[in-house]
Structure 1
């Protein structure tokens, strides 16, 4: 396990997660803001790429697991992205359609922001690259304090760069605080 929230565990993806992640990444509705939904081979490559990221950077997108059931319902994590010629640390997330609108992505992304600023400590800002029409992902970013700083053409598709600087983050060193103390930092 990498991170734990009230309802979720974020852990490294494994090959045995392929079928669960295919339900997320292969769903046309869930992936409507991507060029196309993933097939089985693409999900396999996705897992392989994340495992390479773990080895190279000690982070990547992690499997999002419901603590109550042990079920993988998506992914969330940190990934380096090339944006306009320089590296940016992105918080990314995908949640299975039947588990959306329950705050899981917001909860997981919040934990990843905390991890980036307070555990890794290697960056002064985190971003999320979000398509202008992807209102649900924009809301998640906004709930976690990210704001639109730029509109760009990224991978030939219009995207907003949502970002938060370490100095602007609502997060302090919350990793070791009680849930009651952590709630003080959530607006």
Structure 2
């Protein structure tokens, strides 16, 4: 286990996670504000392979979020590289199964992953990239300590880019 919170276990993805994650990333509600759109099971398998390569190359990536009580894969939260306005950044990203929304789990995961990024990975800065229409995700970032942002275009979307140092 990489990170443990009161209600979550955050660990590296395994290939066996593909079907469960595919159900989440194939949900139009979950992926409404994703620049990648709805993912197929094959797309999800590629995402997991990419995440696993990031662990080896960078020491971090997108990680599986497991509900402690249920043992169920309920989403992902992690760190990855993004290019924003021509500059390489480390971005925090997360997706949560719809039936887990509204319980504070995304904020719990984000806080733990930010701590890991700053203390274990010694990252100087982490950004959060979010559509200004995605009010729930904005609340998660702000609840976790992101305060200021600038607006820009990212992957064809108008977004807010929050930064934490």
Using the size of structure 1 for normalisation, the TM-score is 0.85
Q: Which has the larger radius of gyration?
A: 1
Q: SS at 1:88's partner residue?
A: strand
Q: What aligned pairs does 1:1-187 form with structure 2 within 5 A after superposition? A: 1-35=1-35, 36-121=37-122, 123-165=123-165
Secondary structure of residue in 2 paired with 1:147: coil
Q: Which runs of 5+ in 2 are unaligned?
A: none
Superposed displacement of residue 83, structure 1: 1.2
How far the C-alpha of 1:95 sits from its partner, in A, is: 0.2
- Give the whole-Å Cα distance in 2 for the aligned partners of 1:90 and 1:125: 9
Structure 1: runs of 5+ lacking an equivalent: 166-187
Paired positions, count: 164
| CA positional deviation for 1:162 | 1.2
Structure 2 match to 1:182:
none
Instruction: Tell me, yes or no, if the aligned pair for 1:59 and 1:79 is still in contact at 8 Å.
Output: yes
| Cα offsets for 1:156-180 (capped at 9, x unmatched) | 1111001112xxxxxxxxxxxxxxx
Greater RCO, CA 8 A, separation 6+? 2
1:127-152 Cα shifts (integer Å, max 9, x gaps): 11001101110000000110232101
For the aligned residue pairs, the C-alpha RMSD in angstroms reads 1.0
